[in-house]
Structure 1
Amino acid sequence: MFPPSWCFSLKWVYNILDKKAEADRIVYENPDPENGFILIPDFKWNQKQLDDLYLIAICHRRGVKSLRDLTADHLTLLKNILQEGQEAILNRYGVLGSQLRVYFHYQPSYYHLHIHFTGLSYDAPGSGVERAHLLSDVIENLQSDAQYYQKRTLTFALRADDPLMQKFKDAGRF
């Protein structure tokens, strides 16, 4: 069985971007529709201590689903997220950019481009090498090859009970 349809609905993401939900939780916003984003605390973080700091940058640009969609055309967006996200976290929480892990998940949990900001001391779910791709590495890869993520084989781990694993088995790919 494939995941329920609510897993693929992006209505909740668009509600955040349109400020119909969670507007009071926005830490920072660059409102540019192409190269802007909203920075918001992840629901996993209770915001009471910095040991498990966890924020998400959600891009305003729609139609960019994951790391796989990125090209050199997205470099301004990615650089904005890295620089402005780190500055916003420093201003709000006093945490230096050098103390942050800034990364994408591949495969993502939802298909609208978003970037995770976590404290280095926090072992966040999915921050391991089998799933996380550092934003600084992504920027560098796209600077050296504009189509890097269209060409690159991206490996990722799946649990045995993950519905995507079954899809791969059904397709004879595993």
Structure 2
Amino acid sequence: MSPPVDLYVEPNVISLTQARAFVFERILTDDPATRTLFLLGTIPNSKTGEQETAIVKLEKAAFDTHAEGEREAVQGLMGRIGKLESLGGNDIYYWAKAWMKEDRPADIKISVIQPATEVHISKHSKQAVHLIRETPELYQSIVLPYIQSIPASRTQWVRNILSGVSEADSVIYTSPSPLGFTVVPDLKWDKSTLSTLYLSIIAHDASILSLRSLRGDLHLPLLIEMRNKTEEVVRELYPSIEKGQLRFFVHYQPSYYHFHVHVVHVSYQGSLGMSVGQAHLLDDLIDLLQLNPSALSLLPLTYALGENHALWKPLSSAIAAASSL
């Protein structure tokens, strides 16, 4: 019988000298959601000095706000910005790229809400999340009255886009009435990296509050035109994007109640907004409305809702009361 094979391999140890001697060949993968890069290149062997093929994963570290001294470091973070480049602004919202040191790629993307209200603070605070099963009855009795109570000022930035007051130079396409909609870059996109392309299609008709408002006899032509025309325009602007490389989806609950469709490159992964229960493929909505023009007003919808959301208490109380009967 053959003697057992020694499978032990001495682990690699990469020195600072070797790391700095990395010869870059190409990017294998970049994932903006997880802040990671996979690079292909060569690193010198620690024993022979010969360059060997290597894959290097670079990942930005998370902010450890519980570490000793980290609070002080975070407090001084904005003061250490060396360079700022605006990406745009609208109403109370502003976003930019920032460099901690000017001689390297941008370190941070900054989004600012100013002045921020208690609603903004609540929305962006850490909170427990629960799944809600919203029936058509709950929508009519609780959700719709809530939507109708929201001040118009909360969507002023949307009206600014549609009227051309803000972001006019960023508009990718505006369709004529009656199938009116405007396509603009989402603030999540840096407007240059196609693998992270993120656009918003905003309907001109303010009476369409969310996907619950959609009716096949009224809105199917609009949805189909949004789908087809946007893909056509984007592929004309960016020829490297092939047919089938754009993902169209709608949020419920949405972040604002003026109907809009999200468009991302199919390779864009990891966004919480693409989670099951919040993201609904536009193609699926079109199919449902073709089967039944009232389908989206009749279906129960399940989604995650944070405890800080204004809908959490009334919905959870109503559901608990119904289950106790």
Common fold by TM > 0.5: yes
Pick 1 or 2: higher relative contact order, CA cutoff 8 A, min separation 6.
Answer: 1
Q: Using the alignment, how far apart are the partners of 2:279 and 2:243 within structure 1?
A: 17
Do residues 52 (structure 1) and 193 (structure 2) align? no
- Give the structure-2-normalised TM-score: 0.50
Tell me which residue corresponds to 2:248: 102
SS at 1:115's partner residue? strand
1:80 paired residue number = 225
In 1, the alpha carbon distance for the partners of 2:286 and 2:192 equals 32
The alpha-carbon distance between structure 1 residues 173 and 3, as it changes in their structure 2 partners (threshold 3 A), is: farther
Map 1:30-69 onto structure 2 (within 5 A): 30-32=175-177, 34-69=178-213
AA in 2 matched with 1:103: F
**CA shift for structure 1 position 160:** 4.1
Secondary structure at 1:155's aligned position in 2? strand
Match of 1:121 in 2: 267
What is aligned with 1:70?
214
1:156 aligns with 2:303: yes
Using the size of structure 1 for normalisation, the TM-score is 0.90
Offset at residue 166 of structure 1 (A): 3.1
Task: Specify the alignment match of 1:3 in structure 2.
Answer: 119
Instruction: Tell me the distance in 1 between the aligned counterparts of 2:319 and 2:258.
Output: 25
What percent identity do the matched residue pairs reach?
Answer: 36
1:22 has 2:167 as partner: yes
The equivalent residue for 1:143 is 290
Local SS of the residue matching 2:209: coil
Report if the CA contact (8 A) 1:100-1:119 is conserved: yes
Superposed CA RMSD in Å reads 1.9
Moved more, 22-31 or 160-169: 160-169
Unaligned runs of at least 5 residues, structure 1: none
Tell me, what secondary structure is at the counterpart of 1:10? helix
Q: What corresponds to 1:91 in structure 2?
A: 236
Q: Distance in 1 between matches of 2:153 and 2:273?
A: 19
Gaps of 5+ in 2: 1-117, 121-149, 321-325
